[in-house]
Structure 1
């Protein structure tokens, strides 16, 4: 029995889905934390900017939501919303590895893009502090990083929907 066979296909598939949501949420927590730290300084000086600071802090949190979406789609494709026992018995190691691989773009892309977006959001909060009328420029910069999180989401979703699942 090989190392992979001892895990089983279902365990590998669940590991991939769990990493997609887990790493994306870790990245979101780190990114929103970075932005939040920058925001507290500004809000201590000017509480009237709290709405704009919250928008900028919220942006790195979207990767966690994307990871959760990949997690749920993976579970649905594995058959967990139907007869999970039948799926667990039928899931080969090869299919489990395919699920694992399909979840990795969101896991890695979500982790790294959320942290990067948190740094951009922190810089955007500095724009808001110094030139409040130009804060939307920082918002656009955050959106550029978001684009790559969306590409990670699309890549994982396309691969998940392309898997041939024997149900």
Structure 2
């Protein structure tokens, strides 16, 4: 029975990493896409720059997916898994899952504001990318910690 709980907890860790980070990205990209649609309605020539901005919150979901796949790959050959090992996988999913969720939403909000820069001063739109990148930093840090945690499970 303990082996089953270990596997269950490990797969819960995969789900935490992928689902939460993916939700944050979907929410953030959704917000950004709504704002981008307004900008492009006024000036279709700003489509290219708006797509770059709108795509930025999507990276958190990618980070969560990579950690989830890393965990899944490590689990695919496991015949036995203790509850402690399962808990380690679960805990390893939390940094990118939670930070990816929240930073995806907040990055989407920053991108919405940055669409105002694009709408009024398109030559300054790089500044909006920099603002959004500042939020990205914390998703990257969470990704690195989750990566180290997963690779430290024996």
TM-score range (shorter-chain normalised) is over 0.9
Structure 1 equivalent of residue 105 of structure 2 = 115
User: How far did residue 95 of structure 1 move?
Assistant: 0.5
Q: Which runs of 4+ in 1 moved over 4 A?
A: none
User: Which of 80, 86, 91 pairs up with 2:81?
Assistant: 91
**Separation in structure 2 between the aligned mates of residue 151 and residue 42 of structure 1, nearest angstrom:** 32
Structure 1 equivalent of residue 31 of structure 2 = 34
User: How far did residue 44 of structure 1 move?
Assistant: 0.6
Structure 2 equivalent of residue 25 of structure 1 = 22
Structure 1 equivalent of residue 126 of structure 2 = 136
Q: How does the TM-score come out when normalised to structure 1? A: 0.88
User: Which of 64, 68, 71 pairs up with 1:67?
Assistant: 64
RMSD, aligned α-carbons: 1.4
Unaligned stretches of 5+ in structure 1?
none
User: How far did residue 131 of structure 1 move?
Assistant: 1.2
Unaligned stretches of 5+ in structure 2?
none
**Separation in structure 2 between the aligned mates of residue 66 and residue 127 of structure 1, nearest angstrom:** 28
Q: How does the TM-score come out when normalised to structure 2? A: 0.96
* SS of equivalent to 1:163: coil
**Separation in structure 2 between the aligned mates of residue 36 and residue 140 of structure 1, nearest angstrom:** 18
User: How far did residue 140 of structure 1 move?
Assistant: 0.3
**Separation in structure 2 between the aligned mates of residue 149 and residue 7 of structure 1, nearest angstrom:** 31
Once the two structures are superposed, residues 93-143 of structure 1 have per-residue CA deviations (whole angstroms, 9 ceiling, x without a partner) of 011001100110011011000000000011111111111111111110011
**Separation in structure 2 between the aligned mates of residue 120 and residue 19 of structure 1, nearest angstrom:** 25
**Separation in structure 1 between the aligned mates of residue 4 and residue 112 of structure 2, nearest angstrom:** 42
User: How far did residue 6 of structure 1 move?
Assistant: 9.2
**Separation in structure 1 between the aligned mates of residue 34 and residue 127 of structure 2, nearest angstrom:** 20
Instruction: Tell me if structure 1 keeps the 8 A contact 2:3–2:82.
Output: no
